[in-house]
Amino acid sequence: MSSSDDLSVELTAPNGRKYIQPTGLFINNEFVKSSSGEKITSINPTDEKEITLVHAASAEDVDAAVAAARKAFKTWREIVPTDRGGLMLKLADLVDKHAETLATIETWDNGKPYTVSLSGDVAEVAGTLRYYGGYADKLHGQVIDTGPAKFAYTIREPLGVCAQIIPWNYPLAMAAWKLGPALACGNTVVLKAAEQTPLSILYFATLVREAGFPPGVVNLINGAGKIAGEALAGHTGVDKIAFTGSTATGRQIMRSAAVNMKNITLETGGKSPLLVFDDADMEQAAKWAHVGIMSNQGQICTATSRVLVQEACYDRFVELFKAAIKETSVVGDPFQEATFQGPQVTKAQFEKVLGYVESGKSEGATLAVGGKAYKDVGGKGFFVEPTVFTGVKDSMKIYREEVFGPFVVVASFKTEEEAVEMANDTTYGLGSAVFTQDITKAHRVARNIEAGMVWVNSSNDSDFRIPFGGVKQSGIGRELGEAGLAAYTNAKAVHVNMGTRL
């Protein structure tokens, strides 16, 4: 690697792709150094080696980013909506143009398979930006008829400066989920990437500038959660905060945001159930259950990590599930095409998953598959074997807590009523899945499950055109789809007196 100005570095990724990696804070359409001089080290989770260092924002840097966003808001909100949308469409085209570089960075920094980064994550970024770019000039108020004495109407107005804090499991995709509706509605943004995966968002920043967004509209920074994240959440110059991450951090953000009663959207933790009834297509249920928990190294907030199977088909399902894992879950170098599962994102996450393995053993659950570090990728990296526990009781820690790894528990139920009760016996309520060939039962169970999303005969096949979010301690509000726009506008009511005189 080489560096010329401490704001960029030329890198060569493991797949041979060379590119210029920005390392500064993207504020007001310029890359700048951190005022404190602090930096974050990006680690390749595949071989545990340092990739590079990037600047970490201080509270003063957050102030500068918020000030830039506030200044830009005055003009950005007045831009013709069709033109705003046009910039978003141009950005989506640039994402497509640079897709291979973006996917390379995402895989190198995060550990997810390159094929997934390219055809899944980066494609979703472009799709989400296009979807919301198309909405930019279709945000309408309405006229409300109250009688001839009054002309009443509503206006959909942007909120102002939006702070957005994204997680490390889908760095670029989660950025697009938040940037899309915010920009379409006329807001300006200060977005903080996760400190574990700081690289791809900075390359994306170069595309924001190339697309022609005015200075200050999109500000992209890195920094520690306890410094930059807290500064954003508690900043009185921020009108809204959107966060994706753990429930514990979500609670802290709510407390900080209360200082000026910010508008808030939270997408937090989950322990999503997948219900398999005895009339289900067992082979399909097993394959989808595998997708629902083992995709993205199990690092998915909606992962269906509690599989609940009707007693009559429990043993058959478990055997089919184990076979699906053996056939599909190829663990290895994420740049190899055959790889299904790469490393966990960090050493801390790797150790957390293995800690839950020990907890499951100590509580008496049966370790049916995996449960160990995987050492066949050069002896390095944060790899964990796909792990399945059976004979799990609802009192066990592994049944109740979010693990966030390739780790699933399989429990049994007798009746539909018991299945729903078990599914709902959690503090979370993000995703859920139901497998049955009885369409009436499917709709009935979907209605009774306490979750923001229910998949029937599939799992985790989300779509940017469909609302995404949870209930209970899995979050507040919705992202994606038309519903995602509501989080970034206020409805202003205008009452015009048409002749009533006092």
pLDDT in tens, 8-56: 999 999 999 999 999 999 999 999 999 999 999 999 999 999 999 999 9
Q: Give the pLDDT band (50/70/90) at residue 71.
A: very high
Q: Cβ-count burial of 215 within 10 angstroms (0-12 exposed, 13-18 middle, 19+ buried)?
A: middle
Contact of 178 with 164, CB cutoff 8 Å:
yes
Query: Which percentage of the chain shows pLDDT scores above 90?
Result: 99
Which run of H or of E encompasses 264? strand 263-267
Report whether 1 contacts 16 (CB < 8 A).
Answer: no
Q: What CA–CA distances, in Å, run from 133 to 39, 93, 331, 370?
A: 34, 12, 38, 44
Whether 291 has a pLDDT exceeding 70, the answer reads yes
* Catalytic-residue membership of 267: yes
The whole-angstrom separation of Cα 68 and Cα 64 is: 6
Q: Is pLDDT above 80 for 3?
A: no
At a CB cut-off of 8 Å and minimum separation 6, what does 281 contact? 435, 437, 457
Helix (H, G, I), strand (E, B) or coil at 145: coil
Q: Which of 124, 267, 385, 402 is catalytic?
A: 267
Closest CA to 139 of 486, 494, 469: 486
- In the numeric block, which tokens belong to residue 123? 């494609």
- What average pLDDT does range 188-213 have in this prediction? 98
**Given the DSSP bridges, would you call strands 18-22 and 8-12 parallel, antiparallel or unpaired?**
antiparallel
* 124 is a catalytic site residue: no
Number of Cβ within 10 Å of residue 447's Cβ equals: 9
Q: Write down the pLDDT at residue 194.
A: 98
Q: How confident is the model at residue 186 (pLDDT cuts 50, 70, 90)?
A: very high
- Write down the pLDDT at residue 2: 40
What does the pLDDT read at residue 179? 98
User: Bridge partners of 308?
Assistant: 275, 411
Q: What is the pLDDT of residue 1?
A: 41
For residues 53 and 30, give the distance between their C-alpha atoms in angstroms, rounded to a whole number.
18
pTM: 0.97
pLDDT in tens, 100-136: 999 999 999 999 999 999 999 999 999 999 999 999 9
Whether the predicted pLDDT of 4 surpasses 70: no
The torsion angles phi and psi of 79, rounded to 5 degrees, stand at -65, 140
- pLDDT for position 375: 95
The answer to whether the CB of 3 falls within 8 A of the CB of 22 is no
Q: Residue 402 CA to chain centroid, in angstroms?
A: 15
Q: Considering 162, 185, 301, 313, which one is annotated as catalytic?
A: 301
Tens digit of each residue's pLDDT (9 = 90 or more) over 133-157: 999 999 999 999 999 999 999 999 9
Q: What is the pLDDT of residue 94?
A: 99
Window from 2-16, 344-358, 378-392, 470-484 with minimum mean pLDDT = 2-16
Average pLDDT over residues 415-440: 98
What would the pLDDT profile of 260-279 be if each residue is shown by its tens digit?
999 999 999 999 999 999 99
